[in-house]
Amino acid sequence: MSQKWTESNVPDQSGRTVIVTGANTGLGYETARVLAGRGAHVVIAVRDTAKGDAAANKIRSASPQAEVDVVALDLGSLASVRAAAEQLKSAHPRIDLLINNAGVMYPPKQTTADGFELQFGTNHLGHFALTGLLLENVLAAEDSRVVTVASIAHRNQAKIHFDDLQWERSYNRVAAYGQSKLANLMFAYELDRRLTGKDTISVAAHPGVSNTELMRHTPGTGLPGFNTLANLVTNSPLVGALATLRAATDPAVRGGQYYGPAFPVASMGVVGHPHLVSSSAQSHDQGIQRRLWAVSEELTGVTFPV
């Protein structure tokens, strides 16, 4: 395999069922497009089904043989997560790939339908609940994987604030995003440990810095020339999605690994093609991982069959 892992390295996915959250645009769309083009039956799970239908039609235009479905999923509502999970479980007894991709970044302070801080509730708790509800169907597939999209932001002002998980005392949108992405990574690691002995693995990925709609709340986005500058120092959505695609499909991937760009900027992988990368020492703290898992079960009411 070449050093530069690209879309062409994705193996044939015929006969596989893939669920990608947040796949109507950006990284999720590129992930869904490539997998559908390789023969997978892809389910786009999105909050706005009209945008999901448009994305599915665009994928079908590029790959007329593609099988693409759309399911309504609002990760900020546990009722929506449960409804989507029931629909998916009924339609797909075997799920080969669950890709937890959707997310929000740096919004003004908001809460989910269940009262959780928006970034923690959507990025972590929504995906935690969805994974738990679908895991029996994932376990039913041979060589199945759960891929959770984290971020280099898991290092940025990030810790799990067990004394104020929902940022009710004060709100720092950068630190809140960092907490949610650290939680994503800890969830991926803890899930893989719980899958020991199963024919299913949990893997994490990050896109580096990618110029997608996720950046819409980033300070400076409205300034003249922002997009031109961003395009020079960030990954395109496709290159950003390659880390997810590698984590999802590379036969050499092992459970508990973390893939992302390796080109060093400020001592972190920010741009470029995906490699096996490391995460912060904090992200590997098994005590915090287990505590976060227990709290997440309590907050969502979802327990896992492992």
Residues labelled as active-site residues: 177
List all residues 6 or more positions away from 223 whose beta carbon is below 8 Å from its beta carbon.
none
What DSSP element (H or E) covers 288?
helix 286-300
List all residues 6 or more positions away from 23 whose beta carbon is below 8 Å from its beta carbon.
29, 31, 32, 42, 44, 45, 46, 52, 55, 101, 102
Token code pair at residue 279: 């995460």
Report the distance separating Cα 45 and Cα 20, nearest Å. 6
Token code pair at residue 292: 């976060």
List all residues 6 or more positions away from 222 whose beta carbon is below 8 Å from its beta carbon.
none
Token code pair at residue 211: 């110029």
Report the distance separating Cα 176 and Cα 118, nearest Å. 9
Report the distance separating Cα 68 and Cα 32, nearest Å. 9
Q: At what angle do helices 173-194 and 286-300 cross, to 10 degrees?
A: 100
Instruction: State the chain's maximal CA–CA distance in angstroms.
Output: 54
Q: How far is CA 204 from each of CA 72, 98, 181, rounded to the nearest angstrom?
A: 24, 12, 11
Amino acid at 207: P
Give the distance, in angstroms, between the CA of residue 120 and the centroid of all CA atoms in the same chain.
13
